[in-house]
Structure 1
Amino acid sequence: MPNDIFINLNTLDLNNTIVDIEGIRSIIPHRYEMEQLSGILQFDPEQKLIVGYKTVSMNEFWIRGHIPNRPLMPGVMMLEAAAQLCSYYYMKTTKDARFLGFGGINDVKFRGKVVPGDNLILIAKNKELRPRRAIFDTQGVVNGKLVFEGVIIGMVV
């Protein structure tokens, strides 16, 4: 049975981002085809919560080869998008400019598809924040439906 979605989705407005792509680029080093965040919608360190999104277009690098004529966003790219959201949270919360890379992923479940034209809402709740490690519960949502969930462990690289 899937977990409940961490936030009330009715409070989100994709037209009202608090951090746009340029603001994300000022914190996250990924560029070109590895940029997996389009905007940040909520950032609430008191509640240990961050919400962002990825607008999935027909121009994604994986479209041509990942199930031609029926492109599905690879699960690993969904997790990459969530990890970048977690990195943003870590770097803004700790004021640490060092890169937060994958240290592990646990309890990942894919529950739906993400296709071009979708807005993948990414939600991360911080469970642990240390100087060299951070742990987040993450979820991805499309059209109100949970499409993935999992625990992301970030390690300072």
Structure 2
Amino acid sequence: MDREVILNVLPHRYPFLFVDDIFEVEYQKRVVGIKNVSFNEPWILGHFPDEPVFPGVLLIEAMAQICGFIFYDEQKGEKFISYLSKINNAKFIEKVVPGDTVVVEGYLENLFGNFAKVKAVARVNKKKVAEAEITYFFQRNN
């Protein structure tokens, strides 16, 4: 997806933008995107200086930002601003380190009112590193 589209859809900016690319979007069904974990990110100085590990909370944020694209309809130009409402069943299976490319897949599980639940899975080199159920509050932003 064009970088300008990503910046148009998400309100996040450096140093809190954790989406490097979106490869697939099926509106209100499925999304696939990536976060490249770099050696020059601000967290690296303190988590942990001798053995940098991408913080789990930032991994959840990357997953939530990427999965938020489920609410973007590219053909209609329709998009929704989604706000993180709840995290369930988060599991961190393997550590993520600088140099890793995290591929996040999200699948819409349920829509209820202005809320939606998405199942998110993060992988590095096709190996699952994390998963979570992410609930969003969303509103139209046209």
TM-score by structure 2 length?
0.88
- Listed as ranges, the matches of 1:27-66 within 5 Å are 27-45=9-27, 48-66=29-47
Aligned residue for 1:3?
A: none
**Alignment gaps of 5+ in structure 1:** 1-18
Aligned residue for 2:137?
A: 155
Identify, as 1 or 2, the structure richer in strand.
2
- Matched letter for residue 64 of structure 1: L
Alignment identity in percent?
35
Q: In the alignment, does 2:76 pair up with 1:76?
A: no
- Matched letter for residue 101 of structure 2: N
Give the SS at the match of 1:31.
coil
**Residues 91 and 84 (structure 1 numbering): CA distance in 2 closer, same or farther, change over 3 Å?**
same
CA deviation after TM superposition for structure 1 residue 153, in Å: 0.2
Q: In the alignment, does 2:98 pair up with 1:116?
A: yes
- Matched letter for residue 83 of structure 2: G
TM-score by structure 1 length?
0.80
- Matched letter for residue 102 of structure 2: L
The answer to whether the 8 A contact 1:21-1:37 is kept is no
- Matched letter for residue 73 of structure 1: F
The answer to whether the 8 A contact 2:27-2:71 is kept is no
Distance 1:85 1:130 in 2: 20
- Listed as ranges, the matches of 1:98-113 within 5 Å are 99-113=81-95
Q: Deviations over 1:30-78 (max 9, x none)?
A: 00110000001111237x1100000111111110011112110011111
Distance 2:36 2:113 in 1: 31
- Matched letter for residue 38 of structure 1: D
Two-structure CA RMSD over aligned residues (Å) = 1.9
The answer to whether the 8 A contact 2:19-2:62 is kept is yes
The total of aligned residue pairs comes to 137
CA deviation after TM superposition for structure 1 residue 28, in Å: 0.4
CA deviation after TM superposition for structure 1 residue 96, in Å: 4.2
Distance 2:112 2:6 in 1: 22
Q: Deviations over 1:7-47 (max 9, x none)?
A: xxxxxxxxxxxx1322210100100110000001111237x
Match of 1:125 among 107, 110, 120: 107
